[in-house]
Amino acid sequence: MAQSAFSPAALLRLFRTRSAGQNLSSGETTPFTAPTGRQPDTRTAAAPSGAASGVANQASSLAARLPDLVIRADHIAATLYAGQHGQRRAGWGDTFWQYRQAQPGEPTTHIDWRQSARSTHAYVRETEAESAQTILLWCDLSPSMQWRSASSLPEKRDRAVLLQLAMAALLLRNGERVKLLTPSGMAPLPASGTPLERLALGLAHMERTSTPSASALPPVSLVPRHAHVLIASDFLCPDEALLSCLRHLAGLPARAHLIQIADPAELTLPYQGRVEFEGLEQQEAPVDLPHVQTLRQDYESLVTARNAALTAQAATYGHDLVLHCTQDAPLPTLLTLHGLISGRSGSHREGARP
């Protein structure tokens, strides 16, 4: 991913044009992506831990955490799958066809008791089988995803992997085809292990072979027609690139389900005093802000406006977006995402922080 079109540094330039009287830094304003800060001197009241130099040392750490992520994902999927039972609607891959009268010897489990209660006859609900959907997973493994503002929080990358694996586990339980999309096409998965474990191993290999310039967005030229693409990213990429991706997917046609992963610090800018922000992507100069708390209100307003714009832009091309904050539980986001993928109505922002 190249430099971000949206960042606190970019906002700083906007604030300067709006409020020339504010006491803001006059230093470097090169755009950067993830707001990773450190204390430059004793005047800093608070700053997040970690810097860009430490991210490189974590580049191969995902594989070590995958077994735990797979177990958690499978447990979450089992919870979601159990919640589907008892709901009177056709399951995945089934479309209602007709009601017919029950025949002598018909198993009672085949009878639709709600429809039968409206008549003097017992009725069976028949369905017409459909071919399984193809769902492609794309996980943003660019450096900006390898960040968290506190040690008690997961990295954005880890939460993205957990959400994707949990949704994959649920889709597999429902008979769908789930594949892993890489920059070079569909990932060749190992022959051994469960389907979920094979997807996790494919993600680990993808992470090991990714480069610092890895793209946040999937290669749309490699997406098959009529596929569903599950994209997990912080979307700290140029807006033009994201719009081009969504437009090309819609033209295939293919449908994208966007999971926007955000650290709480990226939504609220909670720092005080003087903070130096260091970018995690290439060619990103640090930005030194002497009174970062003076930007908080305007920063939060612009973050909210951009997130709303991303949701509207996705909907324009027939896609959907769910915002997930890493301090929140994954289950509400997955419930919303499950409803969107299965075509049921629901809020695009349910389960997400405002």
The per-residue pLDDT for range 6-31, each reduced to its tens digit, is 444 444 433 333 333 333 332 333 23
pLDDT score, position 288? 82
Using one digit for the tens of pLDDT, what is the confidence trace for 304-353?
999 999 999 999 999 999 999 999 999 999 999 988 887 743 333 434 44
pLDDT of residue 257: 97
Residue spans of beta strands (DSSP E) within the chain: 36-38, 94-101, 123-129, 134-139, 177-182, 185-186, 228-233, 255-262, 275-278, 287-289, 320-325
| Alpha-carbon distances, residue 155 vs 19, 95, 152, 268, 352 (angstroms) | 35, 40, 10, 17, 17
pLDDT band at 268 (very low <50, low <70, confident <90, very high): very high
Lowest mean pLDDT among 110-119, 251-260, 292-301, 337-346: 337-346
Instruction: Read off φ and ψ for residue 277, nearest 5 degrees.
Output: -100, 130
Q: Is the pTM of this model over 0.85?
A: no
Report d(CA 220, CA 313) in Å as an integer.
Answer: 17
Question: What domains can be seen in the chain, in order of their start residue?
Answer: 8-22+60-84+131-270+291-341 (3.40.50)
Of 238 and 229, more confident:
229
**Are residues 140 and 160 in contact, defined by beta-carbon separation less than 8 angstroms?**
yes
pLDDT tens digits along 132-165: 678 999 999 888 888 898 999 999 999 999 999 9
Q: Which two tokens stand for residue 61?
A: 């750490």
59-68 per-position pLDDT tens digit: 456 777 878 8
| Residue where the block lists tokens 């992997």 | 161
Q: Tell me, what's the pLDDT at 314?
A: 96
User: In the prediction, which pLDDT does 263 show?
Assistant: 93
Mean pLDDT of the residues in the chain: 76
CA 254, 255, 256: angle at the middle one, nearest 5? Answer: 125
pLDDT, residue 282, reads 64
